Chain A
Amino acid sequence: MTMTPPQRTLALSLHVVASVGWLGAVAAFLAVALAGLTRTDVQMARASCLAMQTLMWMVIVPLCFASLATGLVSSLGTRWGLFRHYWVVVKLGVTAISTVILMMHARIADLVASVALQPRFSPGDAFDARVQLAVDAALAIAALLCNTALATWKPRGMTRHGWRATAEAR
């Protein structure tokens, strides 16, 4: 299925918005996580824990799935295809693995928020889990920057499937 030029532009625009939004949301998440870890006052630590849960479920998870869905539509509806070029395959792999890890670790944000709601909460509570969320966010930023570089650079290299499809089309 090949999309018309206006459809391609719309799909690509939505994909860029979702993907860059995802990267920005993770950067905000990392800033909030680090602010909660480095400050010693209870209010800041509690606010950080609750904000991380909100950012996770209201912004990061929806943008992650929007990026995956719009990326699939953009690749399948254009000549790039899903498995023809290595850069598309690698980008899809990084996005899919990031989505799985995100969903596996999203519940940690729930755990941290529930601890923060306890009346006797102190800034040292659930420290390991909060450090893990910050590390996850830093790794996610690295992965998403890698994806951004691939999408703008579009390095050469066709897969065996793409090579065969191109040869058959000639």
Chain B
Amino acid sequence: MNQYPGAPVWVKVLGVIAAALVLVFAALHLSGHGMHHQ
């Protein structure tokens, strides 16, 4: 049986983009720049 080749490049690229979006979202909220409404 062949060895598992691992995740394709497009999955890794999407993973990096998703991680960057999460970091931006967290940074915005932690710094108090997120949306505020009552």
> Chain A residues in contact with chain B, CB under 8 A?
86, 90, 108, 111, 126, 128-129, 131-132, 135, 155-157, 160, 163-164, 167
Chosen A-B contacts, 13 in total, with CB atoms closer than 8 Å, are A86-B7, A86-B8, A86-B11, A108-B37, A128-B37, A131-B35, A135-B35, A155-B8, A156-B8, A157-B8, A157-B10, A163-B4, A163-B5
Count residues on chain B whose CB falls below 8 Å from chain A CBs: 12
Given contacts A128-B37, A129-B37, contact A90 B11 (CB under 8 A): yes
Q: A111 — which chain B residues lie within 8 A by C-beta?
A: 37-38
The answer to whether B14 has its CB under 8 Å from any CB of chain A is yes
List residues of chain A with CB within 8 A of the CB of B4.
160, 163-164
User: Is residue B1 within 8 Å, beta carbon to beta carbon, of the partner chain?
Assistant: yes
Write out the residue numbers on chain A whose beta carbons fall within 8 Å of the beta carbon of B10.
86, 155, 157
Task: Give the docked Cα–Cα distance between A106 and B10 (Å).
Answer: 32
Is B33 positioned at the interface, with any CB of A under 8 Å from its CB? no
Looking at chain A's contact residues, the main secondary structure is: helix
Besides A135-B35, A167-B1, 20 more A-B contacts (Cβ < 8 Å) are A86-B7, A86-B8, A86-B10, A86-B11, A90-B11, A108-B37, A111-B38, A126-B37, A128-B35, A128-B36, A129-B35, A129-B37, A129-B38, A131-B35, A132-B35, A132-B37, A155-B8, A160-B4, A163-B4, A163-B5
Cα A160 to Cα B6 in complex, Å, equals 7
Main SS class of interface, B: loop
Contacts from B to A (Cβ < 8 Å): 1, 4-5, 7-8, 10-11, 14, 35-38
A126 to B11 CA separation, bound complex (whole angstroms): 39
Least Cβ distance of B28 to chain A in Å? 11
| Residues from chain A with Cβ under 8 Å of B8 in the complex | 86, 155-157
Would you call A157 and B14 a contact (CB within 8 A)? no
Cα separation A160 to B8 with both chains bound (whole Å) = 12
For A139, give the chain B residue with the smallest CB separation. Answer: B21
Q: Which residues of A contact B1 (CB under 8 A)?
A: 167
